[in-house]
Structure 1
């Protein structure tokens, strides 16, 4: 909708339809577009003040299909360079103001926090025999915790209370940079360490999809406490219990009760000394992290449904997207926005229900031909984010304005000061090398040796074109394992959003909402009332 005033007058000399557009520029460099529409004997004129319209802003953004090399013909890809690719990745994010970030354990590994599935990770550290578990994953399964919380607390001491507090990584700081540049819409983190907020990201911009370790809740009465209050018990390997006072009971003091008999009736002497002791809840305290088998907090769904139409790019960083329902977010967002993966290996979410839904809207058309991400940056997350941040800082408009200001100041400085400043800058440049000057930084399409090593099948790339992949230190290109006999797979546990029971047979999924599911019984009662029956449901087993 255009803003401005509308003036109407009478034109008695014209009886035809005539449309003209006049452009005028004032001394204040304010452009007004005058649309004069004359119909019959009336003239309507509309003025709008200067300002970028949604259409003009959209024209400044990279449009689908997205490429990280200008020429996507494979015959010329051998000439493409890593530097060109990383600059074009930054260009994909240029002018974006509503970026959604999905992050996982990979951004916290360099902080000293192990991930779950890697060698030396949390699952590798769990001694199942000592804890009486059949698989390492059981330690985070809600039913197992309800039956016996002792294995979790026997292992969790070091995880809950590290010897030294962890500090944010360069990847966390990259996310804070996005907010600083007013490019960040929301961070959906699967991590429970709280380092996103410690890096300086506003709490309102963060959604903890799997909860946080900093607060614990009583499973019996719902009392919440700071997890720090449970330190002593947990470090001893004990299960912490709720200490909330829920009542009192009478206990006798040093004096005993005296009774007297009046007319055959026994009565208590009113002068007796009676004391009361508090009655504690003594329910099991559980950290506010989402275990396998628990439903996500409502804020995840509310924020995603609010952000779906706003998001103009999505970055997946440090996660395999193997756990539902976060694994469904990529397909829930509009396919017309750029998708960037920053991870050690290529990933494909396993859960993509509703992805084949027909959508005639322009924003609902997926221009990708069998692949998921427009840019794949493989390597240690910190190495990748430092490179992207470097390019963004040195190529955005703010950086150019800053350079112009510094250049104007240099003209006013004496020549001696200029020489000293150039010498200082030269020495500083030597100390601070270009962040991706490394033999491990390559454009995969220009790396014949690596392509030969991974073979013609390229199973490890999961059908992603090689002209979309940049390699950094730490990149994993080995083929995916086919033998999963030693891996325990937990099927998605789905709760009905109406009766909150676990759905054990047919699941009725809403295609319009994020992660809204009903059991068959509740679907018959609720579907017609859910958004006045306008939303479409599909059935899944």
Structure 2
């Protein structure tokens, strides 16, 4: 099916990174589920909420520091290398697609990226190592070095507006593809989950690879319930 496609849109969710040792956000035993999420509004309003958010962030970084791209990540990188897949749309924030060999412009991050921080006022990028050194010394996250604004990981929090440019790029790729390939997404988180449905409605074939059934399995051209690595290993050279 992929060999016959002109343009393939890749789409990945948490399941592709569970095989790298990073648990699904919604898994009952996930560290993220042990604490109530900090909303974007609360992050802005409360210095204590910001301290708590950064404490959680650094604890997660320590826990999953050894995570490396899975066979699934490397399989997508191989598909991009063929020229048929212009980019991978991802719900993940772990940067593992880039570690697998994809260039930044070949990864469309709908929910942002947790491997660096940005100023909410001026958008200046700050590396996490510097933020953590300051946090460990002062007990507070530092302010932006450029404008003094609030720093936050470059991710999309609950209640935060979805990023316009990635959403636009994802929409454009979805509209142009004739095959939409999903891996590791439950397809229940919107607006991200609307992309495969739109691709199908637009005439593209829809292939879903996920361990558990998804709401779109019934309209997919092919739904495979299996480990992602075992399926995508065929794309590795």
- Aligned pairs, number: 233
Query: What per-residue deviation string (whole Å, max 9, x for no partner) do you get for residues 230-253 of structure 1?
Result: 12244579331215266xxxxxxx
For residue 346 of structure 1, the aligned residue among 208, 213, 223 is 213
Determine the C-alpha separation between the residues in 1 that align with 2:175 and 2:120.
37
Partner SS state of residue 176, structure 2: coil
For residue 216 of structure 1, the aligned residue among 117, 122, 125 is 117
RMSD value over aligned CA atoms?
A: 2.5
Determine the C-alpha separation between the residues in 1 that align with 2:63 and 2:8.
32
TM-score by length of 2: 0.86
Q: Is 1:109 equivalent to 2:7 in the alignment? A: no
- When residues 338 and 120 of structure 1 are mapped into structure 2, their CA distance, relative to the original with a 3 A threshold, is same
For 1:18-417, list aligned pairs within 5 A: 92-124=1-33, 126=34, 128=35, 136=36, 138-139=37-38, 141-146=39-44, 147=46, 148-162=49-63, 164-234=65-135, 238-244=139-145, 281=148, 283-335=149-201, 336-348=203-215, 371-386=218-233, 388-389=234-235
Partner SS state of residue 232, structure 2: helix
Partners of 1:233 and 1:240 within 8 A in 2 = yes
Partners of 1:102 and 1:189 within 8 A in 2 = yes
Shift of 1:93: 1.4
Query: What per-residue deviation string (whole Å, max 9, x for no partner) do you get for residues 303-337 of structure 1?
Result: 13432442010111111122221111122225322
- Unaligned segments of structure 1, at least 5 residues: 1-91, 129-135, 247-280, 350-369, 394-541
- Unaligned segments of structure 2, at least 5 residues: none
Shift of 1:339: 0.8
Runs of 4+ in 1 over 6 A off after TM superposition: none
Determine the C-alpha separation between the residues in 2 that align with 1:237 and 1:245.
19
Determine the C-alpha separation between the residues in 2 that align with 1:178 and 1:150.
41
Determine the C-alpha separation between the residues in 1 that align with 2:223 and 2:146.
54
Determine the C-alpha separation between the residues in 2 that align with 1:228 and 1:116.
24
TM-score by length of 1: 0.40
Query: What per-residue deviation string (whole Å, max 9, x for no partner) do you get for residues 476-505 of structure 1?
Result: xxxxxxxxxxxxxxxxxxxxxxxxxxxxxx
- When residues 201 and 163 of structure 1 are mapped into structure 2, their CA distance, relative to the original with a 3 A threshold, is closer
Shift of 1:203: 2.2
Partners of 1:207 and 1:299 within 8 A in 2 = no
Partners of 2:180 and 2:206 within 8 A in 1 = yes
Shift of 1:385: 1.7
Partner SS state of residue 139, structure 2: coil
